[in-house]
C-alpha cells in the first residue's frame, strides 16, 4: 500500500491510497458491508456513486459463513462481487457489544455467538488470520474499545492492553501478509489527551501502514472527539493515512477533515435510510413525518441521484409507512450518494484551496432545513 498526499489546505488533505484493488481517493467514506454486503444497495450502485472502498466485518463473517469458507470461494472480493478495495475491522468492537457472554483476558476475548451461543476465542493472531483469509486490502489490529465514560486508570489499563495486542497483531501480520495488504494500528486512550499521545507514539515505534482513532463517537460528544483529534494529530506521521473509525454525521466528517482525518466509515447513512431518514444538502428529512404525505417535491431536485430527484416525498413517505423494501433501497441509495458526493466536494475544495469557504457554506446549507424551498 502507498499513500500520496496531493494537496493540503490548512490541516485538510487530499490524496490517494494505492491498493491491490485500485486507488482510494481521500478524504474517503467507506460504506459498511457488515455481512459481505452493504444493506439495501447493489455493489455496482456503490461504484457508480463514487465509493472506492467498503468495510467488511470480521466478527460477523467469522461466525457465518466463516473466513475459511470465504477463502475457499476466492476471498471476500469475489464472494461479494466487489472489485474495489476492502478494509476489514478486527472484530473486537462487535465482540464487546454483541456477544452474549464475553470474557477478556491477556490472551484475547472468549465469547458466545449472538446467533447460536457457540463459544469462540478471538485473539490478536486469530483476528489477523481471519482478515488475511478474507483477503482484505487493509487489516486492522485487534483492540479493546474503551468504554465511555471511563476513569483515567480504566482508560490507561485498556489502552495498554490494546498496545500489547497491537504488537502481537504486527507479528502475526508478518506471517500471513501476502505483501499486497496493509495493517493499521488503532489509537486508544478514551478522552484523555496524554493517553492518546502515548498510544500514538507506541504504535509509531512498532511501525504501521496507517493509524486509526478508535473509541470515539461513543457518547463523548463532538467537542470532546475533536479535542482528542487536535491533541493527537501532531503525534502522527504526515506520510500515513489517518482513519477515524465509526464516524459519523456529515458535520462530524467535515470537522474531522479540517483536523487532518483521511478516512471514515459509519453505518449511519444506510441505517438511517432503513428507518426513513434521508440526508440532503439542506439537512435531514424524516419521511415518517405526516407532513410529507402530500408533498410533491423530491428530496433534492438539484441532486444528480435518481433517488433524490425523481421520487416525490409523498411517495417515499407512503413507502416508509407501508414498510416497503423499496423505501430502504431508495433512501439508502440517496444517503450513500449524498455521503460520496460530500467526499468528492471536500476533495475538490481542498485541491482548489477553498476548504474553509466550503466548510462555512456547507454548515449554512445544512441549517436551512428541509422545509425551505430549493
Question: CA of 276: how far to CAs of 130, 268, 303, in Å?
Answer: 35, 12, 19
DSSP code per residue over 317-349: HHHHHHT-HHHHHHHHHHHHHHHHHHHHHHHHH
Q: Annotated catalytic residue: which of 137, 143, 265, 370?
A: 265
Which three cell numbers mark 70?
470465504
CA dihedral sign, ordered 106, 71, 43, 62: negative
**63 vs 126: CA distance, rounded Å:** 13
Cβ within 8 Å of residue 179, ≥6 positions away:
none
The answer to whether 267 and 32 are in contact (CB under 8 A) is yes
Number of separate helices (H) and strands (E) present in the chain: 15, 17
With both helix axes pointing from N to C terminus, report the angle between 313-322 and 325-351 in degrees, rounded to the nearest 10.
130
The residue among 273, 35, 209, 221 whose CA lies nearest residue 134 is 35
How far apart are the two ends of the chain, measured CA to CA in Å?
43
The answer to whether 370 and 24 are in contact (CB under 8 A) is no
The answer to whether 285 and 277 are in contact (CB under 8 A) is yes
The residue among 284, 275, 269 whose CA lies nearest residue 336 is 269
Q: Is 89 a catalytic site residue?
A: yes
Q: Annotated catalytic residue: which of 89, 143, 262, 300?
A: 89
Helix (H, G, I), strand (E, B) or coil at 263: strand
Q: Is 52 a catalytic site residue?
A: no
Q: Tell me which residues are annotated as active site.
A: 89, 265
Amino acid at each position: 500500500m502507498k499513500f500520496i498526499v496531493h494537496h493540503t489546505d490548512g490541516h485538510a488533505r487530499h490524496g490517494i491510497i494505492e491498493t491491490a484493488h485500485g486507488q482510494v481517493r481521500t478524504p474517503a467514506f467507506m460504506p459498511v458491508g457488515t455481512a459481505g454486503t452493504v444493506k439495501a444497495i447493489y455493489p455496482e450502485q456503490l461504484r457508480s456513486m463514487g465509493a472506492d472502498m467498503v468495510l467488511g466485518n470480521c466478527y460477523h463473517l467469522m461466525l457465518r459463513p466463516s473466513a475459511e469458507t470465504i477463502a475457499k470461494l476466492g476471498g471476500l472480493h469475489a464472494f461479494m462481487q466487489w472489485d474495489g478495495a476492502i478494509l476489514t475491522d478486527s472484530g473486537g468492537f462487535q465482540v464487546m457489544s454483541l456477544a452474549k457472554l464475553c470474557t477478556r483476558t491477556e490472551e484475547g476475548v472468549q465469547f458466545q455467538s449472538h446467533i447460536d451461543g457457540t463459544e469462540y476465542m478471538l485473539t490478536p493472531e486469530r483476528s489477523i488470520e481471519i482478515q488475511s483469509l478474507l483477503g482484505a486490502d487493509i487489516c486492522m489490529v485487534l483492540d479493546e474499545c474503551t468504554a465511555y465514560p471511563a476513569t483515567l486508570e480504566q482508560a490507561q489499563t485498556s489502552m495498554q492492553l490494546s498496545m500489547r495486542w497491537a504488537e502481537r497483531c504486527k507479528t502475526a501480520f508478518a506471517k500471513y501478509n501476502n505483501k499486497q495488504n496493509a495493517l493499521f494500528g488503532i489509537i486508544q486512550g478514551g478522552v484523555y489527551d496524554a493517553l492518546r499521545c502515548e498510544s500514538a507514539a507506541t504504535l509509531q515505534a512498532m511501525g504501521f501502514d496507517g493509524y486509526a482513532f478508535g473509541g470515539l463517537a461513543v457518547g463523548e460528544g463532538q467537542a470532546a472527539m475533536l479535542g482528542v483529534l487536535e491533541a493527537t494529530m501532531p503525534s502522527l506521521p504526515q506520510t500515513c493515512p489517518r482513519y477515524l473509525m465509526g464516524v459519523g454525521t456529515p458535520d462530524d466528517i467535515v470537522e474531522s477533515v479540517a483536523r487532518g482525518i483521511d478516512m471514515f466509515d459509519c453505518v449511519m447513512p444506510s441505517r438511517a435510510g432503513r428507518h426513513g431518514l434521508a440526508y440532503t444538502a439542506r439537512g435531514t428529512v424524516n419521511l415518517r413525518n405526516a407532513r410529507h404525505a402530500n408533498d410533491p417535491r423530491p428530496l433534492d431536485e438539484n441532486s444528480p441521484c435518481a433517488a433524490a430527484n425523481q421520487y416525490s416525498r409523498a411517495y417515499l413517505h407512503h413507502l416508509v409507512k407501508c414498510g416497503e423494501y423499496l423505501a430502504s433501497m431508495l433512501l439508502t441509495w440517496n444517503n450513500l450518494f449524498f455521503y460520496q458526493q460530500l467526499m468528492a466536494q471536500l476533495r475538490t475544495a481542498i485541491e482548489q484551496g477553498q476548504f474553509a469557504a466550503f466548510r462555512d457554506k456547507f454548515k449554512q446549507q445544512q441549517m436551512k432545513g428541509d422545509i425551505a424551498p430549493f
